[in-house]
Amino acid sequence: MKHCIIVADKFDPEGVSRLQARPELEVLYEGGYKRDRLLELLPRASGLIIRSATKVDAALLEKAPQLKIVIRAGVGVDNIDIMEASRRGVIVMNSPGGNSVSTAEQAIALMFALARNTPQANASMKQGKWEKSKFVGLELTGKTIGVIGLGRIGKEVVRRARGLQMNVLGFDPYIPPANLSHLEIDLVSVEEILRNSDFITVHTPLTDATRDLINKDNLSILKDGVRLINCARGGIYNEDALLTGVQSGKIGGLALDVFTEEPIPADFPLLAFDNCILTPHLGASTGDAEFAVALESVDQLIEYFQNGVARNALNFPTVDPEAMDFLKPYFSGGEKAGRILANFLKGGVQSIHIDYCGEIAEYMTQPVTTAILSGALSVAMGDEVNYVNAPVFARDRGIQVSENKRVSESGFSSYVHVSFSAADGQKTHLQYTAVHREPLVVSMQGLPLEFKPEGIMLLVTNRDVPRVVGTLGNYLGDLNINIAHLELSRDDKGGTAYCMMTIDELVNPEALARLRSLDNILGAVQVDLR
């Protein structure tokens, strides 16, 4: 069966050709679709590649029941409702690497234009003027530039600014300073950048933390005559504050490639100022960048449908292939552990605690936690839940999830201990590890109980008295159900015992209810892990 892929916006021809060459993909592309036509095609789509023109909102997602992945060919995903996509189990990716250099070069180009008044001088010359004294500029060498956001693009800007022999101040709260030491710049606070920079450029997403980064309240602390550059997202600088700063002379020049409203309105106030350079969102608009982004997007899509790897996913944990090789049995084991424990509890799951012990603690364990959540929620939600939307559904249901990492305290080099608590006070827990790249449960309820989580499992709690196992065997035999595997454990002699059986067929609900009423049986849970 082929996966239907829709390329919704204008796209590089070589990228389209690369997709069309894949026999497992059916590619729909007509140079860009109008929304009505796109909505007609979406019911067939497994994958969707977009640029900035297509808006992926709830109405669009509603029309795409088979959609598994949306890829934004570029960095910004403002036109994608990521939360709604997550609720529907759709992975959202972007392609941040392809246009990093082009955007960084645009920022540097705008900095040069601000420093030397190049656009204004060009416009003057085309009017037949020779106003040499009017356009006196300044050298960049020795000036201080503040770079806010030190991701891919920010790092490229830093490298070029250092090559110009500028003093570089940097800020990024999400990257450990040790990971930025190779840049050889001064890492300072945002306030220090605002106070001390001759030029400021931002390279961050637009979030609650970055919105109005420069505003009317902090405009006064800027260095007099500072020049501001924004090739990231409109709204990082408050546009009303920019107008105030330009009017007062506090801001010596602006170079904006992005705006809160695009295209800008005809009466946009900053159009009236000669020291404001405005460009129509050209950061990634080079043939080189468009080609690189197209190929990056295509490679991501092919890798996902071929190997299940979600590279640059924004709502799904990305795992590199080497880590995936180690973690794979913990994914499948986690999902099955979640299903077993959720079935074991009579009430709804209220909290989940996970201990990652030993070697696994050295890896990114978020995907394993997601697998456990997916398994737990599938008991009530069935196929509606998957690895993408499980964290969203868990939050919606008020399930508290906590994790801890520690060194191994048992005979296993690596294991996971999972504990569930229910609203009615019930608790249950198990521990699993990986043996020969397969998950293996090694304890349940704190007792040694070793079994492979697979097939149809019958978990029985009983009094530790003679003949219980025989009673169970006879009962299942009368139902013509064969026992494939059986494990036993108990807390104390004569206390509570646990019997885990793998059986060949499901016990019907009426027969399972009768089983629970047998002498010395305290409880029985059936879990289908096929």
Catalytic annotation, residues = 233, 262, 281
CA gap 344, 353 in Å, rounded: 16
Non-local (6+) Cβ contacts of 102 within 8 A are 283, 284, 285, 286, 288, 289
Q: What is the DSSP string of 370-400?
A: HHHHHHHHHHHHGGG--TTTHHHHHHHTT-E
The three-class DSSP label of residue 254 is strand
Specify whether the backbone of 60 is left (phi greater than 0), alpha (psi in -120 to 50) or beta.
alpha
Q: What is the DSSP string of 319-376?
A: --HHHHHHHHHHHHHHHHHHHHHHHH-SS-EEEEEEEEEEGGGGS--HHHHHHHHHHH
CA gap 529, 263 in Å, rounded: 54
Cα angle 207-316-90, degrees, rounded to a multiple of 5: 95
The three-class DSSP label of residue 261 is coil
CA gap 457, 524 in Å, rounded: 10
Q: Are 42 and 63 in contact (CB under 8 A)?
A: yes
CA gap 354, 360 in Å, rounded: 12
N-terminal to C-terminal alpha carbon distance within the chain: 23
CA gap 390, 373 in Å, rounded: 6
Give the residue carrying structure tokens 């007099």.
224
- Give the helix, strand, coil percentages of the chain, each rounded to 5: 35, 25, 40
A 10 A CB-CB count for 182 gives: 8
Residue 487, token pair as written in the block: 């494990």
Backbone angles phi, psi at 364, to 5 degrees: -75, 115
Burial (CB count within 10 angstroms: exposed 0-12, middle 13-18, buried 19+), residue 528: exposed
Residues in the chain: 530
